[in-house]
């Protein structure tokens, strides 16, 4: 496995019309979850990924599993739960600057992930372990599961990639979110926060100060993403900024960060420089925003090259 990831995926319902969801009568059913978004993104780029999770033994769970399996992700580590449902979320696209999500996931099968769901060998054999700050916010057992998986990765020298993905609605308090995100970041090798997430965690500082807070505590690579502006990268020896690509029209920004992570990680797997890996991350992130759905816009390698080339012309 090139990348193994752990977390919840859900059935995603999006109104077929823009505007307030209260007026929507018909919805499209899709699937999403930060971790499967990046797993699918990497599969499209030719890498083998595996997903550890729990889903309900229900119709949405059947469809979700077929979908993720159909994208080529290894789902051998997904446990079916006969007593708890697959999570659901709704995405309301009021307009491009106002996208709202509504979760129906409390008590879902994935919220009961536990250490029993983790096979040490599966993690030991991965080239990277990817985790987000979403899973530890779901429940105490989810938090413990993530910490256990990280300790196995650390034990087997598997680099941990951590995307804080702060979802304020899921945390009981800001203090708790900050404490957990900092704890996980210290155990990671690569962290991929947004600049606004770094501000949420540390308060008001400069971008290099945010990078140093991470670099001084463990990680060797930090990318601070600044949305449509671009991304700043830092290691102990180098730093730089790569501007974003221009996008004709942002249709749906949700999933862009996961697209960035997939593109960036594919670059590291290929041995690209930090600058080139960040450029690829920016390209995938931009391409995801042009299509409705978290994963529908994830490109193939050929499409990325075409997109980057077209931007230069």
Active site amino acids: 258
The distance of closest approach from Cβ of residue 172 to ligand KDG in the complex, given in angstroms and rounded to an integer, is 16
Between 257 and 267, name the residue whose CB sits nearer to ligand KDG. 257
Map tokens 């100060």 to a residue: 209
Question: What span, in angstroms and rounded, lies between the C-alpha atoms of 211 and 231?
Answer: 12
The distance of closest approach from Cβ of residue 168 to ligand KDG in the complex, given in angstroms and rounded to an integer, is 11
Between 65 and 215, name the residue whose CB sits nearer to ligand KDG. 65
List the end-to-end C-alpha distance of the chain, in Å, as a whole number. 37
Nearest to 148 by CA among 52, 230, 233, 63: 52
- Locate all alpha helices (DSSP H) within 115-255, ordered by sequence: 120-124, 135-138, 140-155, 174-187, 195-202, 207-215
The distance of closest approach from Cβ of residue 132 to ligand KDG in the complex, given in angstroms and rounded to an integer, is 8
Question: What span, in angstroms and rounded, lies between the C-alpha atoms of 184 and 214?
Answer: 11
* Nearest residue to ligand KDG on Cβ basis: 32
- Binding residues for ligand KDG (CB under 6 A): 32-34, 37, 134, 165, 167, 254-255, 257-258, 294
**Residue 62: φ, ψ to 5°:** -55, -50
Between 50 and 255, name the residue whose CB sits nearer to ligand KDG. 255
The distance of closest approach from Cβ of residue 55 to ligand KDG in the complex, given in angstroms and rounded to an integer, is 13
């Amino acid at each position: 496995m090139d990348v193994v990831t752990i977390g919840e995926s859900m059935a995603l319902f999006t109104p077929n019309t823009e505007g307030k969801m209260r007026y929507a009568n018909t919805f499209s059913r899709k699937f999403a979850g930060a971790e499967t978004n990046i797993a699918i993104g990497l599969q499209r780029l030719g890498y083998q990924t595996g997903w550890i999770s729990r889903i309900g033994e229900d119709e949405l769970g059947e469809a979700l599993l077929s979908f993720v399996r159909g994208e080529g992700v290894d789902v051998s580590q997904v446990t079916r739960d006969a007593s708890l449902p697959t999570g659901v979320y709704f995405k309301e696209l009021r307009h491009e600057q106002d996208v709202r999500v509504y979760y129906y996931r409390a008590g879902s099968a994935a919220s009961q992930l536990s250490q029993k769901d983790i096979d040490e060998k599966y993690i030991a054999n991965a080239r990277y372990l990817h985790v987000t700050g979403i899973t530890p916010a779901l429940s105490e057992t989810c938090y413990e599961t993530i910490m256990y998986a990280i300790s196995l990765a650390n034990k087997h020298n598997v680099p941990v990639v951590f995307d804080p993905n702060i979802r304020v609605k899921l945390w009981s308090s800001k203090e708790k979110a900050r404490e957990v995100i900092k704890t996980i970041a210290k155990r990671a090798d690569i962290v991929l926060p947004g600049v606004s997430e770094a501000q949420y965690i540390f308060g008001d500082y400069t971008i290099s100060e945010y990078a140093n807070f991470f670099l001084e505590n463990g990680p060797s690579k930090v990318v601070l993403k600044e949305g449509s502006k671009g991304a700043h990268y830092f290691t102990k020896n180098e730093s730089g900024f790569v501007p974003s690509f221009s996008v004709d029209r942002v249709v749906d920004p949700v999933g862009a960060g996961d697209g960035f992570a997939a593109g960036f990680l594919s670059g590291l797997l290929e041995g690209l420089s930090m600058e080139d890996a960040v450029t690829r991350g920016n390209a995938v992130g931009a391409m995801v925003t042009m299509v409705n759905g978290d994963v529908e816009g994830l490109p193939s390698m050929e499409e990325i090259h075409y997109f980057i080339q077209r931007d230069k012309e």
